[in-house]
Chains A and B, each alone.
Chain A
């Protein structure tokens, strides 16, 4: 073996931007996270060429999972074409040579900020959720070291108390998105700020979900076929957003999570939040041969 055989041509950065030791660490931490569902694993989050809080946690996980044959979809608030989603997707193309897609069904890795696609994910797909704040106990315990002890003791009494106080004060649980949920009967997680509508999609899902917070240096996972239960009282059922009977003004589709668009006349119009799901429906209505995957919700219901 000669020295020449061991060297490779100079490149401005490594494949997938992160160096191999960073990726190795992430892989090990991901395996740990999968082995202990819902447990927040600390990791040495690296600086990436994107501002912290803009999805750097998800970015590091996706960069680690990436290979040249990967097909990547990036969503921001449901849309593939919003500026941050475009910027992140372009980055995967640039540093990983990955195929970019907007189609949920065709993607092998889906990195998302704040939404889970309406079409069901399969066993061979990985959902990477960007997490701004991984700590569900933050509101009751801002000190992370103490919160870690509370997780260790499965001490979620204060968490229940907060939900109960909301019920007493407002007549309902006021938690909007990032609804605290119990994973595998053990750890309470913040399921990223996905709406309540999406939390139910994590329960007993076919796919693996990895949640990663770059700024907070924590990652955790919901493995496939794992129980995810939103924290609810026996007599107060979990209620998703009232979008069951809303109709998308563009695609005429009913019964999915919508963006509300305030109108000049004081009323509201609604459009599908999952943008590519909407595009598929419009194309299908226009006679194109489009395959729309099975959805988690049917006519606004999931049961």
Chain B
């Protein structure tokens, strides 16, 4: 019964999981609340990539994954997919956003003004090492402005369109229930614009950054100027069957518009759940880059949308840990036979290129 000795997979996986979980210790409500309050930008990034706005669940996913972000996205998405879609909110219009930060790099001043809001953009990034020796680091209190900024801001693009600088985009009127939903339909190319923006909204931050950065460095033809970056809270408005519109609360959102200076001034747009400026700026660049008539190979819709999908790309990468001995055995067999044939005919093996490159799929 020698086979019995090689068994025990079930016991092994059980113990391996226990080992991982024992390193993390007990997950309590306090821990989840601690993560939620101390790591809001991480929670935001996760909610964006998981396309589920629920800070408590996101913080719980981070706690359970020990901070492994891809693991947390998978946890949250696997939960999300089992939830019914109960209603479709009213469209969110830019001037209705409760804006806390809104800047433009295109003009020194803009209608509604520039609002810095919370940012580290101009701070010196110094580690407060004193904290480790017992000196608490308490931030300086904020001094309120004499005149508070308005809660909502007009759209800069509207001004540019009125000036004739940017072409008016044709508006498609689609009934709410007709809006395609990427989570219920496969992504097919050529991709509907709704799918493209949904896909970018839940794309991996690092992935959009890498490809967005590449396209501005010469692997593409995008020279972006940030027209507007906004961090805001968007009202979620639902329509009661009787017709009244009511608010179901607010969600933190970020959005970016970039202008590419090619032949004409052209807009790229992106928005996502949570406050994540790197993501929306790079995704807006990618929106523009993938909309070019002849995009660079690294900026085609297919290339960008497939390769920035966090659950799919991370899952496939870690799947290489799984055993591949059957396929490897099959490859080995081909190599050995070539070698044997070569020796039999007295010539050296004639593999000129690695055979793996030529294999159709492994």
Q: Are B359 and A176 in contact (CB under 8 A)?
A: yes
C-alpha gap A258/B324 in the complex (Å): 13
* Chain A neighbourhood of B327, CB < 8 A: 114, 176-178, 193, 195
CB distance from B345 to the nearest CB of A (A): 9
* Chain A neighbourhood of B361, CB < 8 A: 132-133, 135-136, 138-139, 178, 190, 193
Interface check B10, CB cutoff 8 A: yes
Interface check A69, CB cutoff 8 A: no
Q: Are B350 and A52 in contact (CB under 8 A)?
A: no
* Chain B neighbourhood of A282, CB < 8 A: 1-3
A266-284 toward B: CB 8 Å interface, digit per residue (1/0)? 0000000101001100100
C-alpha gap A139/B335 in the complex (Å): 20
Given known pairs A76-B322, A176-B331, A190-B361, the reply for A45 and B2 (CB within 8 Å) is: no
Interface check B187, CB cutoff 8 A: yes
* Chain A neighbourhood of B333, CB < 8 A: 176, 241-243
C-alpha gap A173/B355 in the complex (Å): 9
* Chain A neighbourhood of B7, CB < 8 A: 81
**Which residues A121-170 have CB closer than 8 A to chain B?**
132-133, 135-139, 143-145, 159, 162, 165-166, 169-170
One of A46, A190, A217, A250 near B81 (C-beta < 8 A): A46
C-alpha gap A204/B213 in the complex (Å): 51
Q: Are B9 and A53 in contact (CB under 8 A)?
A: no
Total A-B pairs, Cβ < 8 A: 210
Most chain A CB inside 10 Å of its own CB: which residue of B2, B184, B312? B312
Interface check B134, CB cutoff 8 A: no
Q: Are A86 and B315 in contact (CB under 8 A)?
A: no
One of A115, A144, A169 near B326 (C-beta < 8 A): A115
C-alpha gap A282/B5 in the complex (Å): 13
C-alpha gap A90/B352 in the complex (Å): 46
C-alpha gap A250/B1 in the complex (Å): 8
Chain A residue at minimum C-beta to C-beta distance from B357 = A139
C-alpha gap A143/B301 in the complex (Å): 10
Given known pairs A83-B9, A170-B338, A215-B312, the reply for A177 and B3 (CB within 8 Å) is: no
* Chain A neighbourhood of B359, CB < 8 A: 139, 174-176, 178
Interface check B358, CB cutoff 8 A: yes
Chain B residue at minimum C-beta to C-beta distance from A114 = B326
* Chain A neighbourhood of B187, CB < 8 A: 217
Interface check A203, CB cutoff 8 A: no
Task: Give the B-binding residues of A (Cβ under 8 A).
Answer: 13-14, 17-19, 21-22, 42-54, 56, 76-79, 81-87, 90, 113-115, 132-133, 135-139, 143-145, 159, 162, 165-166, 169-178, 180, 190, 193-197, 215, 217, 239, 241-243, 250-251, 257-260, 273, 275, 278-279, 282, 286
* A-B contacts besides A54-B315, A144-B302, 19 pairs, CB < 8 Å: A13-B82, A18-B82, A44-B184, A47-B311, A53-B316, A83-B12, A113-B322, A145-B189, A159-B360, A171-B350, A174-B355, A180-B360, A190-B360, A195-B326, A215-B316, A217-B186, A241-B333, A257-B326, A282-B3
Selected A-B contacts with CB under 8 Å, 20 pairs: A44-B183, A48-B78, A51-B319, A81-B9, A85-B9, A132-B316, A143-B302, A144-B302, A169-B350, A171-B341, A171-B342, A175-B334, A178-B361, A193-B361, A215-B312, A241-B330, A241-B333, A242-B333, A278-B3, A282-B1
Task: Give the A-binding residues of B (Cβ under 8 A).
Answer: 1-3, 6-10, 12-13, 16, 74-75, 77-78, 80-82, 84, 183-190, 300, 302, 311-312, 314-319, 322-338, 341-342, 350-353, 355, 358-362
